[in-house]
Structure 1
Amino acid sequence: MKRSILSAAIVMAASPTLAEEAPDSGAVTLEPVQVTATRLSQTVDEALASVTVIDREEIERLQPRQFTDLVEGRAGVSVSSAGPFGKQSSVRLRGTESDHHLMLIDGVRMGSATSGGASWRFLPPEEVDRVEIVRGPRTSIYGSDAIGGVTQIFSREGEEGPPRVNAFFGLGSFGTREAGAGIAGGTERTRYSLSLSRYDTDGINVQDDVGDDDPDGYDNTSLAGKLSHRLTNGLEFFGNVLYSEGRSEYDADESDPANPVDILGPYDRAYTDFVHAALRAGVRIPVTRHWDTEVTLGQSRDESDDVTEGGVLGGGVDRFDTRRDQAAWRNDVRVGERTDLIAGVDAYEDRVDGSTDYDEDSRYNVGVYSVLRTEIGNHDLEGSLRYDDNEEFGDKTTGQVAWGLQATDALRLRASYGTAFKAPTFNDLYFPGFGNPDLDPEESETFELGARYSASLAYVDVSVFETNVDDLIQSRCVVNCDDGNPDTDINEPRNVREARIRGLELEGGHDLGPWNSRVSLTLLDTEDRDTGNELARRPPVSARFDLDRQFGDASLGGTIRARSRSYDRGDNETRLSGYGTLDLRAAYELDPEWTVEGSLTNVFDRDYETQGGYNNPGMGAFVKLRYQQQR
């Protein structure tokens, strides 16, 4: 099978080649192109990693209410949340922690410097053009946080052609209202897009025994834009922004400052005002026919004001504002006909501001990396190496090697080994009265074997892996530990735990005539090596099945998600029951530009929890009118 890697087009914000259905003549379906696994532009078939791509067509077909609806139940992915609609969510890859999962937005590194995790809950699905999920360690390419893998979100971008307007308006259960509009287009040298969306819902009562009984609402206003311009000599300037702000309400009780066990009563209101943003600008320079270089500057912001009002003492505000300034220099070199090299330097500085006085409020990290890939006959070899210098914990070197074999035109085998690390957060290191500045990074090693079978209209991908994580950071009691009252314990984070995670992932799908399907299955065996317990909120079995059928101008579809029981805490005392849910959807093209969509979520009105004590919505109904101007 002939394969090619177009190094001149390798960019973090590159557009995917969308899967195109083969015509009746039997031509082979083109695989989606992804750039996240190695920073090389490759089809999913070519990647020596486990990769899932969700394109805009699939996003619109699935009609998600929130971003986590897109990824929940996918191979290797588990989601737990403190309720729906803008509430705290953890998205775990391959059984690792949520803060072991790196989020990128158009190449911008996201995440809170204080808590460490990414704000998945604030991502607006309507502004997302494509999602690439890469499972397995990627620290040797991207640095800290990528122990479990990387998910990159690409916002919408323009295509060559006259300006085209798009818009939508929707209503639904739980007092949900949403609307948005955008414009996109381009010329041979210039591409642009700009869109604005608003999501507003009254929500549900997230906790029954905490706070009041009123619904906990959520609103999100988002702006997304991309612009690029290429000069006649090939020099290209580009920029992108994704900005969201809004409010998410939650339940909270007021404690007596003198005795935290004594609850004075519920607050009148409790909510989080947030800002979540990714900005990037840069230039790509074709130095020679075989060498392209790219320089970028970026910034991510994760800001929140946690506000409580009323109560006996009148409430207050806890402000946590984190900013990450980023710079990168990257070089793509075609070494030979079948060998490609990427080498670069990236640096970022985290800054923390807010109502909490941290012992340190900034730190920098500089990383140098390289990725080499070559083809030898029907074998592929790939290696990556990275050196990080961090202001707090010093230096760290990570690496990864992978091998692939094109056994037949349809069957591809792969194997890999990689190391990774996760830097301690500002909360771990510097939180007043709690932080431990002597913490070491968490470290891991992962072994993986995989196979992918791709026919013209169907594919199956299976992988088995084992990840061992050392120096896991866990809070341990250091004062008042033996008085029998955990509420008076004083805890300190320490490097105390080791974990082993084994798993099997299966993903497949087909596009046959009017039928479209995707299926995912994940089997996990997790163990805290210190206690022998399962790791919290990791269901041993999870699955997802999406099935859609086109009937001329109409379509019908459904999604089944299921997961086995899990434990809410690491002591395995509190059990979360397994469950399954069914969502149904339909769409009808009124004409080539107007489409009406409708969906029923949680059709059987299942009562379930993914995090102990937090409710999820019952059955809901939603309708949306969508407009897409045609050329």
Structure 2
Amino acid sequence: MKNRLIRPRGFAPAVSVLALSLLVSQAHSLELNPVVVSATRTEQALSEVLSSVSVITRQEIEKSQAPSLADLLQGETGFEFGRNGGPGSTTSFFLRGQNSINVVVLIDGVRSQVDGIGALQVTDMPLAQIERIEILRGNASALYGDAAVGGVISIWTRQGKGEPAAYGSVMLGSRNTYGMHAGVGGTVNDLSFNVQGGRSGSDGFSAMIPSMNARVNPDNDGYIKEYVSAKLDKKIDADFNMGLRLQSTRAKADYDSGSSFAGDKPSDINLLKSHNDQASLYARKAITDHWVSALDFSHSSLGYENTKNSTLLNDGTLKGTQDALRWFNTVQARTQSSISFGIDKSIDQYSASGNYGYGMRREGMGYFAGLTEKMDRWTFQVNARRDQIQLSRTDDYGTVSSVQNINSGLLGLGYSLTPAWRLTATVSSGFRAPTAYEVSTNTQVKSENYASKEVGASYATGDALARLVYFQTDTRDAIDYDKNYRAVNIGQTENTGLEATLRSQWMGNNIKASMVNQDPRNVTLGMPQARRAKTYGSLDISRPLAGYDIGAKLYASGERKDSPYSSTMLGGYSVLSFYASQKIDERWSARVRLENVFDKQYQLASGYNTPGRGLFATLRYSPK
């Protein structure tokens, strides 16, 4: 066993007692029409948004008892993920069938870091830190710039409200999994605050399947994660407030390599240590009754240390920093008209050590503006953006660089047929700039260019919000590698499909459902895109019953091609989970979750295991 996790004696009986006698939190109703900001960068009711958006509230996060961000998002329309093992291992996000580097993650409005190959670095953010999540599907480069062609996952962290009070939870479960967090938040005079910290871990399971690879170590691959965060907001006067956000995460995860190139043996112990820190300062000022301006500066850093048998690997260290400045404005021109405009500036720097060491610098500057207008039954949306991205990479062979200047745009139109029924349509252009690694292989490689369109119909009443969307995205100058491992613009990819989404309250049941049918293809090579299914969807139903809140969630996915470089297909699968909750008193509640009820065996990446059946119970304290 690689991680010897410290846990209390009598662990299994403790889980049984929690599962059978506590059962979890207060019954609640699904929020059907929340306010969202990601679709236009201004506030709108979900039913009025032209683009396709989903929302996950804090209440839903707690009800889900999901072990990670990827598991929480699974089942949301348009979202898929791949993972090399259990929580804490390498994870890829896919939105609208696009590549994993074609999605943007925002934290409190600030773009999160990617590395030298464009991979996201915040795929395992602690859920205890999150207040709400918005998933904007489709080409959003006109609002958010580079790589937002699959969509945007916008995460908002928790902020104190009301009288100051403490809160926290303890979770125990299968595979010696545990989690605990505690915090305090509230408002004192003109200061709002929220401070919290936590730790989670598990003995896990073997990340890779030993029967498929003789070089795999068959023992369990565990993980440990520790985190702290703080958020302060000071109201200076009626029109001006300032704030500070701090976050820090440390993690250790065992993993399997099983590589013949690295000469791996079944006795090898591989460990990845990581840290991710962020500090932000912001100010918000109401210039007039109709104009609000906000300025946000953030500094973040990350690092990885990869060891094999307690020895640092030759290419086992990565360090990176990001400085980001955002100036954002909203103007309420008329009652039914809003304007947004601003600037995004970022500087990212990375360095990797060892035989393949390199240094990378990326500077981005984006200028954007948008208008949303309502006229009687019509809604209009226009967004435009210009980005300049400068990339350079330095290694033993010298320095290579590239400058990309790209324009993006979006036009949207909505028409209300009746108070309940609405038609929508958008057309947009977008881009993904070459990564530093791609530029290092070929300085002439160009940005990928995207053209997208979608049409939809929505139905919104007091107890239901449903949406059906047809979408199509075509890629020109798609980047891939030739036989000499040089990044080249090979040609065209495309994805067309249908999305159906439902949020409803029906006969006392809270219902969330989604279904996607798509065809993500590399047109030039004549093959499907890897690790994306043609059909997938979910159904989540809960209701109060005899003083409890009980529910079930089913997720199903069709088969997927594992890699563009092999013919291996990953089989389709379905996973069913049950959950229940009960409020014990005004402060205490308890939850229990039985995941993968039928102990299904499936793969998200060829040769890698996924979690089997597991029972998890949580005791929660919250006086609010």
Scaled by the length of structure 2, the TM-score of the pair is 0.89
Look up the match of 1:386: 385
Q: Which amino acid aligns with 2:412?
A: A
Separation of aligned partners in 2, 1:300 and 1:443: 29
How far apart, CA to CA, are the structure 2 residues paired with 1:222 and 1:49? Answer: 34
Contact 1:112 1:302 in 2 (8 A): no
Deviation, structure 1 residue 551 = 2.3
Change in 2 beyond 3 A, CA 1:362/1:292: same
Q: Matches of residues 322-341 of structure 1 in structure 2 within 5 Å?
A: 322-341=320-339
Correspondence 1:336-347 to 2 at 5 A:
336-347=334-345
Contact 1:85/1:121 (8 A) holds in 2: no
Q: How far apart are the structure 1 equivalents of 2:157 and 2:71?
A: 17
Q: Which range is displaced more, 361-370 or 231-240?
A: 231-240
Following superposition of structure 1 onto structure 2, how do residues 9-20 of structure 1 map, counting pairs within 5 Å?
A: none
- Give yes or no for contact 2:315–2:352 (8 Å, CA) kept in 1: no
Q: Deviations over 1:53-104 (max 9, x none)?
A: 0001111111111111111122111111111111111111110011101001
Q: 1:418 aligns with which of 397, 411, 428?
A: 428
- Could you tell me whether the CA contact under 8 Å between 2:227 and 2:249 is conserved in 1? yes
Tell me which residue corresponds to 2:292: 292
Runs of 4+ in 1 over 3 A off after TM superposition: 314-317, 356-360
**2: CA distance between counterparts of 1:250 and 1:30?**
40
Q: Could you give the per-residue CA deviations for residues 371-399 of structure 1, whole angstroms, max 9, x where no partner exists? A: 11111211011101001112232311111
Q: 1:440 to 1:550 in 2, by over 3 A?
A: same
Out of 600, 608, 612, the position equivalent to 2:606 is 612
Aligned residue for 1:477, secondary structure, equals coil
Letter in 1 for 2:597: V
Measure the CA separation in 2 of the matches of 1:396 and 1:317: 34
Q: Using a 3 Å threshold, how does the CA distance of structure 1 residues 497 and 221 change in structure 2: closer, same or farther?
A: farther
Matched, 1:492 2:492: no
Deviation at 1:361, TM superposition (A): 2.5
Q: How far, CA to CA, are the matches of 1:241 and 1:137 in structure 2? A: 30
Number of positions where the alignment pairs a residue of Structure 1 with one of Structure 2? 581
Counterpart in 1 of 2:11?
Answer: none
- 8 Å CA contact 1:267, 1:310 repeated in 2: no
- For the residue of structure 2 that corresponds to 1:427, the secondary structure is helix
Do the aligned residues in 2 keep the contact of 1:222 with 1:243 (CA within 8 Å)?
yes
Match of 1:448 among 437, 451, 454: 454
Residue of structure 1 in register with 2:510 after alignment:
516
**The residue matched to 2:482 in structure 1 has which SS?**
strand
Q: State how far apart, in whole Å, the 1-side matches of 2:574 and 2:358 are.
A: 46
**3-state SS of the aligned residue for 1:45?**
helix
- Which residue identity is paired with 1:294? A
Look up the match of 2:140: 138
1:526 aligns with 2:520: yes
Confirm whether residue 321 of structure 1 aligns to residue 327 of structure 2. no
Hey, what does 2:22 align to over in structure 1? Answer: none
For 1:395-414, what aligned pairs fall within 5 Å after superposition? 395-414=405-424
Q: CA deviation at 1:414?
A: 0.6
Matched, 1:554 2:548: yes
Residue 397 of structure 2 is matched in structure 1 by none
1:492-532 CA-to-partner distances (Å, cap 9, x unmatched) read 22221410100100010212464211000000112211122
Matched, 1:228 2:226: no
The corresponding residue for 2:367 is 368
Contact residue 421 and residue 458 of structure 2 kept, 8 A: yes
**d(CA) in 2 for partners of 1:325 and 1:108?**
10
| Aligned-pair CA distance for 1:429 | 2.3
Once the two structures are superposed, the pairs formed by residues 101-250 of structure 1 within 5 Å of their partners are 101-159=103-161, 161-187=162-188, 189-207=190-208, 208=210, 209=213, 210-250=215-255
- Supply the distance in 1 between the matched residues of 2:558 and 2:264 (Cα, whole angstroms): 38
Q: Do 2:306 and 2:313's aligned partners in 1 also have CA atoms closer than 8 Å?
A: no
> 2:204 is matched by which residue type in structure 1?
G
Say if 1:91 and 1:120, in contact at 8 Å, map to a contact too: no
Q: Tell me the equivalent position of 2:271.
A: 271
**Can you list the C-alpha shifts for 1:336-376, whole angstroms capped at 9, x where unaligned?**
33221111111001101231566652121111100111112
Q: Distance in 2 between matches of 1:224 and 1:513?
A: 40
Partner of 1:465: 471
1:24-78 Cα shifts (integer Å, max 9, x gaps): xxxxx77201111111011111111100000011111111111111111221111
Is there any run of 5+ residues in structure 1 with no aligned partner, and where? 1-19, 23-28, 479-490
Give the partner amino acid of 1:548. S
| Structure 1 residue matching 2:59: 3-state secondary structure | helix
1:565-584 equivalence runs, <5 A: 565-570=559-564, 573-584=567-578
- Measured in 2, the distance between the counterparts of 1:254 and 1:552 equals 53
Measured in 1, the distance between the counterparts of 2:182 and 2:157 equals: 14
Q: In structure 2, do the counterparts of structure 1 residues 64 and 454 end up closer, same or farther at CA, with 3 Å as the change threshold?
A: same
d(CA) in 2 for partners of 1:360, 1:250: 26
* 1:12 aligned residue: none
Please give the per-residue CA displacement for 1:562-611, whole angstroms capped at 9, x wherever unaligned.
Answer: 01111112256111110111111111222121111111111101110011
Structure 1 residues 337, 539: closer, same or farther in 2, change over 3 A? same
Equivalent position SS for 2:101: helix
Q: Which amino acid aligns with 1:80?
A: G
Amino acid at match of 2:268: D
1: distance between equivalents of 2:145 and 2:267?
A: 41
* Unaligned segments of structure 2, at least 5 residues: 1-27, 391-401
Equivalent residue letter for 1:273: K
Aligned to 1:488: none
**C-alpha distance in structure 1 between counterparts of 2:457 and 2:84, whole Å:** 36
Query: Cα offset for 1:266?
Result: 4.4
Q: CA deviation at 1:233?
A: 4.2
Give the conservation status (yes or no) of the 8 Å contact 1:83–1:206.
yes
What SS does the aligned partner of 1:453 have? Answer: strand
Q: Which segment drifts farther, 446-455 or 317-326?
A: 317-326
1:542 CA displacement? 0.1
Provide the identity percentage.
27
Q: 1:373 to 1:592 in 2, by over 3 A?
A: same
Change in Cα spacing, 1:336 to 1:608, as seen in structure 2 (3 Å) is same
